[in-house]
Amino acid sequence: MTPNLVLIGFMATGKSTIGRRCAAELGFRFRDSDTLIERRTGRSIATLFAEEGEETFRTIEAQAIRDLARGSRVVIATGGGVPLNTSSIAALRRTGVVALLWASVDVLLDRTRYNTRRPLLAGDGDPRARIESLLANREPYYRSAAHITIETSNVSCEGVVERVLEAYRAHVTHHCLPGETHRRSR
């Protein structure tokens, strides 16, 4: 079975944009956990956070991830908080190669400067400090969830797609013999 390609990483690392392009190259379908959540609830992520709170959002998100992980030949772009849920990551790793998109704090700050739709980055306070603190908390989860890591700072979109596909294919070649199901491995 050909494993899925799962993109994880901090907000604004390009998971959706890169994922859509990778899916086109691989001939896979593209799915995005935030989009699925918005479709299922009929609300935007920001509205969902405001009306139901983060905990309820995380419960809905975990269900969305469980469902997406059951698909095959799919590229899945995940919300930035997904790797904090170990069951979600276990489900994604069972059927897919998990690729971490990484970017420096400067790049993340630049890309989220005009953010309006990400509740965790909205509000008063120093945006750099907010990103640094979230990233410091999350980095160990991101690193341990990932089979492969791709640096995206100062790399063009095409360049990132190329690197992701190359690393994905190399991982599949090394870890999945023809006819074998995808094994959990690093």
11 binds ligand S3P (CB under 6 A): yes
How many residues in the shown chain lie near ligand S3P by CB under 6 A?
Answer: 10
Find the angle CA(43)-CA(116)-CA(19) to the nearest 5 degrees: 75
* Residue 159 DSSP label: H
Q: Among residues 81, 135, 142, 146, which is the contact residue for ligand S3P, using CB under 6 A?
A: 81
Please report whether residue 14 would count as binding ligand S3P according to CB under 6 A: no
Distance between CA atoms of residues 171 and 165, nearest Å: 10
Tell me which H or E stretch contains 59. helix 54-69
Identity of residue 64: A
CB atoms within 10 A of CB 95: 19
Q: Minimum CB separation from ligand S3P for residue 135, in Å?
A: 10
Q: Would you state the structure tokens that stand for residue 166, as one six-digit string?
A: 């190359």
Of 74-82, 139-147, 158-166, 178-186, which segment contacts ligand S3P by CB under 6 A?
A: 74-82
Reference 145, options 181, 178, 186, 108; nearest CA is: 186
Cβ within 8 Å of residue 2, ≥6 positions away: 72, 73, 172, 176
- Among 19-27, 66-74, 77-85, 153-161, the segment contacting ligand S3P (CB under 6 A): 77-85
Which residues within the stretch 99-118 sit at the binding site for ligand S3P (CB under 6 A)? 118
**Binding to ligand S3P by residue 80, rule CB under 6 A?**
yes
Binding mask 31-70 for ligand S3P (x = CB under 6 A): ---x----------x-------------------------
Site residues for ligand S3P per CB under 6 A: 11, 15, 34, 45, 79-81, 118-120
